[in-house]
Structure 1
C-alpha cells in the first residue's frame, strides 16, 4: 500500500496536525510514457500555508481531501519513458505520496555527484534561486552598502546574506535566537545580528546594527520588523518583499504604519518577488550557485527530519522557528 497525506481542513489561524489526514491507496503502476517515482526528500516551506486558503493567489490553492504538494526529490523506480532511466533522481512539484506516477512533465534530473540530493531543494533549489535572482533583479547591490536580512538563518535568508558578502556588502541578519545569530556569523559570514525575540525596540536595534543606515532590506517576515527597516532605510533604498511569515496565520487584515512619506522623501523602491516568474533564468542561476558552492563562497544548513509520517509536523515547526536553514523531510 501507498501512504499519502491529504488536506483535511482549511486552517483558521495556525495550522494543526488535525488539518492533515493520512490515508493509503494501492501502489500505482506506470503506463506507457510514465515513470514510477519514490519520494526521497520532501521540501516544506512557509508559502504552503497560503495554499491552504481557498483564495485567489499566484498559485492555485490546495483542494480539500486531496494530497498536498511541494518540491520533492524522487527516485525513478520504474521507467516507461525514454527520457528517464531507473535510478535517476528528479526534482519536481509532486504530491505528498510515498510513490506516484508521472508523465515526466515538470521533472528535472538532479546529479547527486555534484551536490547532495537535498541541496537541490535548498541552496540549489527554489530557495537558492529565490535569493540569487531576486537580488540580481531588484537589489542592485553595490560594494560597501548595508544589506539587512530578516529570517536570516533560514534557507533563503542565509543565502541572501552570503551573496551580499560576495558582492562586498556589510550584512546584518535578524533571527529568533542567539544560537541562530552565532550560526549566521560563524558559518554564513554575517557581520552583525539581531535577536528579535529578546529585542524590546527594533527601531533602535536596527539603527545600532546599521549605523550607516539600510541600503537594501530583504524581507522574509513582514510586520514590525519591516516597520523598523523602513524607519532606517537610506535614500534610494531598495526593499525586496519575499515573504511575510509573521502574518501567514493571521485571521484578518493587518494595519500598520503608512510608508508613503518615506517612499517619496527617500525615493525608496519596494518590490515583491515570485521566483516562478523567472523560470527561464533557472538554468544560469543554478550554475552560478553551484559555482559559488564549489568555490567555497557559499555554504548551507539543513534541518533534516526523518520519516514520511513527520512531514506535517516539520511544516508546523517552520512557524515556531525550529529550523536552521532549509527544512527537509527524508524518506527511506
Structure 2
C-alpha cells in the first residue's frame, strides 16, 4: 500500500511558491519495537515552517532546514494504527511531529497521548499546543503584566497572540490587539480585547498613539516591520518585550531589514527595557500547568479560540502560502483524515 506525501521540492528565493512543494506517493512504513504507526488526522501549519524551508536571507531557523526531496516537517495529531509499544493501543490519539504525510512511524517516547474528553484533539496543535504554550510563556514568564498596565499584542488573532492577550486581560491589564483587516479586528473585539487596531490602516501609527496614551508596558512581538517600528517609541521605562518571531523577516531580503542594532540597544539601556527572544521549548516545564489552566479557561468561557481548517493533505501547500500571506484567522490546520469515533459516538451512529 502507498500513501500521499508532500515534500520540499525547492528552496524559495523570497516568498515561497506552490512549485516549492511536490505531491508524491510512498510506502506506508512498518513500525519496529517501541514504535507506532500513526494515521495523520490533523496537520499544523505554522510560520516557523518558512525557516525550515531554508534560503531566507534574513531569517534562519534554529534547526537545520528540511532536506530537498524530504517530507515537509510539521506538528500533527494522529491515530495509532499499529502499536509496537505496550503503552499504546490502536485507536489512541496522540500529538506528534510526523510532517506532511498520511501515515508515519514515530517512537512511542516521542508522542503525547491526548484525551478527547479534555478538549477537541485539534486544540493540541493550537491553543493547547505549541502556539498556545508560546503565548502562555510570553505572558506568564516574560511579560508578567500587572493590573492596570497596558499590553500590546502583535498578530493578535493568531493562536499565540490571542491567548497572550486574553491572559493579560485575565490579569487585569488593558490590552490592545493588532491584526490585519476588518474581519480580524472584529474578532478581537468580540474576544474581549480593550482596543483592536488594523495595521493596514494608513493612520495606524496615530491610532496606536491614541490607544496607548500612557505608553506600553508589555509588547508581545511576533511580527516586526511597521508594527514594531510604531510600538517601539511608545515603550515605557521597564517595559518587557517577549519575542517569539519576526514574521516580516521570514521571506524578506536582508537589505530590506531595519539593521539599526545600535539604536535599538541604546533604547534598551536608556529605558531599562527587557527584550527576550525565546522558543516554546524553553518553557516545556510549564506544560502541565499550561494545559490544565487553558482547559479550565476554555470550559469556563474565559478564553476563546478559532480554528481555520482546510480539508485534504494535497491542499496543504496552498493553505500554508495563504497563512503566510495572512488570509487565515486563528489557528490554521489541515484535516488529513476524519477523527475516529468513540464508542459512544459509534453507538449513536
Give SS of 1:15's match: coil
Distance in 2 separating the partners of 1:95 and 1:150 = 27
Contact kept? 1:149, 1:219, Cα under 8 Å:
yes
Distance in 1 separating the partners of 2:209 and 2:72 = 42
| Structure 1 stretches of 4+ moved >4 Å | none
State the partner residue of 1:46: 47
Pairwise CA RMSD: 1.5
Matched, 1:99 2:116: no
Matched, 1:304 2:323: no
* Aligned counterparts, 1:13-32, within 5 A: 13-32=14-33
Distance in 2 separating the partners of 1:62 and 1:105 = 23
* Aligned counterparts, 1:1-332, within 5 A: 1-53=2-54, 57-186=61-190, 188-202=191-205, 204-253=206-255, 254-257=257-260, 258-332=263-337
Distance in 2 separating the partners of 1:54 and 1:247 = 12
Contact kept? 2:30, 2:37, Cα under 8 Å:
yes
Shift of 1:28: 2.0
Give SS of 1:36's match: strand
- What do residues 58-114 of structure 1 show as CA deviations (whole Å, max 9, x unaligned)? 222111111111110000012121111110000011121101122213100011111
Distance in 1 separating the partners of 2:258 and 2:170 = 36
- What do residues 226-280 of structure 1 show as CA deviations (whole Å, max 9, x unaligned)? 1111111111111111111111111224125522342222211111121112222
Shift of 1:140: 1.7
Contact kept? 1:11, 1:19, Cα under 8 Å:
yes
Specify whether residues 54 and 83 from structure 1 end up closer, same or farther in structure 2 by C-alpha distance, changes over 3 A only: farther
Distance in 2 separating the partners of 1:8 and 1:239 = 37
Give SS of 1:243's match: coil
Contact kept? 2:152, 2:177, Cα under 8 Å:
yes
Distance in 2 separating the partners of 1:7 and 1:119 = 26
Distance in 1 separating the partners of 2:210 and 2:166 = 21
State the partner residue of 2:346: none
Contact kept? 1:303, 1:326, Cα under 8 Å:
yes
Distance in 2 separating the partners of 1:313 and 1:220 = 22
Contact kept? 1:149, 1:172, Cα under 8 Å:
yes
Shift of 1:54: 5.9
Distance in 1 separating the partners of 2:299 and 2:203 = 40
Contact kept? 1:206, 1:232, Cα under 8 Å:
no
- What do residues 146-204 of structure 1 show as CA deviations (whole Å, max 9, x unaligned)? 00011011111111110011100100011111111110011x210111111123452x2
State the partner residue of 2:345: none
Distance in 2 separating the partners of 1:295 and 1:52 = 39
Contact kept? 2:224, 2:248, Cα under 8 Å:
yes
Between stretches 153-162 and 289-298, larger displacement belongs to 289-298
Structure 2: any 5+ residue segments left out of the alignment? 338-349
Write 1 or 2 for the structure with the bigger share of helix. 2
Contact kept? 2:197, 2:204, Cα under 8 Å:
no
Between stretches 226-235 and 26-35, larger displacement belongs to 26-35
Distance in 2 separating the partners of 1:24 and 1:211 = 57
Distance in 2 separating the partners of 1:260 and 1:280 = 30
